[in-house]
Amino acid sequence: MNAHDTSIDLAAYFERIGYAESVRPAPTLDTLRALHLLHPQAIPFENLDVLIGRPIRLDLESIQRKLVAGRRGGYCYEHNLLFRSVLQTLGFRVRSFAGRVLWGRELSDMPARTHMLLLVDLDEGAFLADVGFGGMTLSAPLALQTGLEQITPHGAFRLEGAGEAPGYVLQALVNGAWTNVYRFDLDPQYDADYEMANHFVSMYPQSIFLHNLLAARLAPGKRLALFNRRFSIHDEREGSDHRELDGTASLRRVLEGELGIRLPDGAELDAALARLPNQA
C-alpha cells in the first residue's frame, strides 16, 4: 500500500527520541512499545506553522528537517508519517488509515476524516499505533481488539465497535468515564489522501488549527497540553491542574520550556500569540 521508504535517518531519529540501543532493533512488539513511548515524550504536538500562515509539507525530507533536525513538533500527519517511515525501515508491516475525530462530540456524529493513524501487523496480531493526537496521544500501541481495557503508561484506553457503521471507536478513560476519541475503519489511505486532508485542516477557515494554538507533550506519568492560553498538566497520580497564561512571554516560556519546542523565527509568532483568546 505504501512504498517501502529507506530514506529515514534512523540515527538522527533515535537521538531525537532518546532511544539508546547500540544495535538496530528488530521489528518486534517490544521495539514498537519502546519507540511508541519515547516518541511523544520527545517530539511535541503543535500547530505553530498553521497559526502563523506557513505551509505544512508532508514529504519525508521536510518532516525530518522540522521534527528531527529542527527540534520542532507537528500534528498528526507529520508525526505518523515520520513514525511510519521509521517502522517500515526497521522491517515492520505498517498500514495507514484515517479517523473521524469524536473528542467533544457524540458517537453519532460523522465529521470528516481528518486524523491519520497506523496499524502495525505483528505475529501477536494487529496493533493501533498513533503518536499524533495532541493531549490524548497514545503512549503505547493498542491491540486491535474490542471490549478490552488496555492500560498504557498514560492511562486506560479501549476499542469498541462503531455501532451501525463499520470500524472501531477509540475511547479513553477520563475522570472515571469512557470518552470517545475518534472512530476509524479499515479503508486504506494513501499519501495523496493525507495531502488532501492536510490542505483542508490547514486552510479551511473553520479549522480548529487555523485560529487556535494547540500544543502538547507527554512526560513520564504526565500529559502537558496548551490550548490557546490555557495550560493543563494532568498527573496520573496527582490529578489535573489548569492555569491561564498571560502575555506572549509566558506562552513562549511554556512552549519552549515544558513543551520543548524550538520556536520558529520571525515576528509572525508573537503577533499570532498576542491574538489568542482567553479560555476562562
Phi, psi of 273 (to 5 degrees): -65, -35
Which pLDDT score is estimated for 74?
A: 98
The Cα–Cα gap between 278 and 274 comes to 11
Chain centroid offset of residue 112 CA: 18
Answer yes or no: is 252 within a domain.
yes
Residue pLDDT, tens place only, 133-179: 999 999 999 999 999 999 999 999 999 997 777 899 999 999 899 99
Q: Could you identify the residue written with the cell 496493533?
A: 127
Answer yes or no: is 2 within a domain.
no
Answer yes or no: is 259 within a domain.
yes
Q: Could you identify the residue written with the cell 496520573?
A: 236
Answer yes or no: is 186 within a domain.
no
Q: Are strands 177-184 and 214-219 parallel, antiparallel or unpaired?
A: unpaired
Q: Is the pLDDT of residue 6 over 60?
A: no
Q: What average pLDDT does the segment 21-41 reach?
A: 95
What is the pTM (predicted TM-score) of this model? 0.94
The Cα–Cα gap between 57 and 138 comes to 24
Answer yes or no: is 226 within a domain.
yes
Answer yes or no: is 239 within a domain.
yes
- Count of other CB atoms within 10 angstroms of residue 120: 23
Answer yes or no: is 194 within a domain.
no
Task: Output Rg (C-alpha) for the chain, integer angstroms.
Answer: 18
Domain that holds residue 261: 204-274
Beta strands in 33-103 (DSSP E): 45-46, 93-101
The Cα–Cα gap between 224 and 103 comes to 17
Residue pLDDT, tens place only, 49-102: 999 999 999 999 999 999 999 999 999 999 999 999 999 999 999 999 999 999
Give the three-state DSSP class for 69. Answer: helix
The Cα–Cα gap between 197 and 113 comes to 8
Which pLDDT score is estimated for 164?
A: 72
CA-closest candidate to residue 214, choices 227, 199, 196: 227
The Cα–Cα gap between 29 and 44 comes to 23
CATH number of the domain residue 212 falls in: 3.30.2140.10
Q: What average pLDDT does the segment 232-245 reach?
A: 92
Answer yes or no: is 260 within a domain.
yes
Domain count of the fold of the chain: 1
Set 39, 79, 115, 154: catalytic member: 115
Set 76, 79, 154, 234: catalytic member: 76
Q: What percent of the chain has pLDDT over 70?
A: 97
> Sorting pLDDT into bands at 50, 70 and 90, what band is 3?
very low
Set 36, 39, 79, 130: catalytic member: 130
Q: Is the pLDDT of residue 239 over 90?
A: no
Q: Is the pLDDT of residue 267 over 80?
A: yes
237's grid cell: 497520580
Instruction: Mark whether 76 is an active-site residue.
Output: yes
CA atoms within 13 A on the CB side of 16: 27
The Cα–Cα gap between 74 and 213 comes to 12
| DSSP assignments along 188-238, one per residue | ---HHHHHHHHHHHHH-TT-HHHHS-EEEEEETTEEEEEETTEEEEEETTT
